[in-house]
Structure 1
Amino acid sequence: MAGRPSKPVQLLKLEGKSHRTKEELKHREKAEKSLYTGTTFKESPAVKADPIAHREFLRLKKLYKSIQYVDGLDEQIINRYCLLISQEQALAKMMERMRLDIDEVEEVEDRLRIYESIAGVTDKVMKTRDMLLKLEDRMFLNPTARIKSIPKQPLEEPKQSAMAQFLSRRAGGHAP
């Protein structure tokens, strides 16, 4: 069982409480900022040509306007998501037509073929969606995956061994 995903530093600051030290928060904020490209995401020609996907893209663009974690790196996932919304709606319409066809078909074999078609299309969509989500997480193509990639603790400076500290003090240096 995995733990909860890390919250962005900006959200932790807004909440006003955190178990992280100031140094840890500073380190995380620096790491988060290094993930931004400073570019904006653009609508693909395929999304622009699809009225349902285009409407979803415009909705997301409006929502993402004030979120700094979404930028040009997220362009592909956003466009894929918009096309997926359109495909889901088209699939739902197709299944509804198939269900209406089932009511009109009297032959059992024809009904079974229609049921198999519905199940096959549903299965393919679910497998494709699952593959996309796994790939996007592995390649840090979504904001959550990028935030999870940031180490929770800042890198600590290596401590000197007891012998090295002793020798440093003996040579007139100060022990850390």
Structure 2
Amino acid sequence: MGRNAKPVSLHIAEGNPNRLTKAQIQQRQQSEIKLGKNDLSKVKPPEFIKRNTIAYSHWKQCMKEYKEAAEEGVEILASSDIDLLALYCMTYTEYLGLLDLDTSDFETEMKRQTAINKKMDMLMKMQDRLFLNPLAKVKNVPKPKEKERPESKFSKFGGGRGG
């Protein structure tokens, strides 16, 4: 099984669009635009999220992070990602519910711990896809482009040290 494809804008921002031809870049840009709108002010949570106070609170926290990233020119959430974000918020709520359960017998406690571990694994995978954990952000979200340094008056001599 192969890796998930990176958005073409991410390839360009990382400085390696040469892996794709101009025609491939143009075709992928057109198809990616069709997948969803990036206007986060119009993104609304599903009704089942609004009815759950914990999930809704977590939704708002995630949206705040996405909007801050968008203000810096990094748009990583589109309207096509809303269902996954909603699923993530509900799974997070279920995870917290499992943590709050008190059990007295050993077998029930082991089942609870297994369920907690499964929910945690699901949450980590969803966080990767939604760019909500630090590692996913570092690996996949492009850094703002640095300003070019002015050319040094010594660069015409090779710019290297020694020799």
> Does the alignment reach a TM-score above 0.5?
yes
Shift of residue 37 of structure 1? 4.8
Partner of 1:42: 44
- Structure 2 unaligned segments of length 5 or more: list them: 132-163
Aligned 1:28-107 pairs, distance under 5 A: 28-37=28-37, 40-65=42-67, 66=70, 68=75, 70-94=77-101, 97-98=102-103, 101=104
Q: How far apart, CA to CA, are the structure 1 residues paired with 2:44 and 2:51?
A: 14
Shift of residue 92 of structure 1? 0.9
Deviations 1:71-96 (A, max 9, x none): 333333222211211111110121xx
Shift of residue 32 of structure 1? 0.9
Q: Percent identity over the alignment? A: 22
Q: Secondary structure at the match of 2:95?
A: helix
- Give the structure with higher Rg (CA): 1
Deviations 1:89-130 (A, max 9, x none): 110121xx22xx4xxxxxxxxxxxx22223334555738x86
The alignment covers a number of residue pairs equal to 117
- Structure 1 pair 72–17 and aligned structure 2 pair: CA distance change class (3 A): closer
Q: Larger relative CO (CA 8 A, sep 6+): 1 or 2?
A: 1
Q: How far apart, CA to CA, are the structure 1 residues paired with 2:37 and 2:48?
A: 24
Q: How far apart, CA to CA, are the structure 2 residues paired with 1:143 and 1:81?
A: 9
| TM-score of the aligned structures, taking structure 2 as reference length | 0.55
Shift of residue 5 of structure 1? 2.4
- Structure 1 pair 63–21 and aligned structure 2 pair: CA distance change class (3 A): same
RMSD: 3.2
Q: Secondary structure at the match of 2:2?
A: coil
Q: How far apart, CA to CA, are the structure 1 residues paired with 2:49 and 2:86?
A: 6
Q: How far apart, CA to CA, are the structure 2 residues paired with 1:38 and 1:15?
A: 20
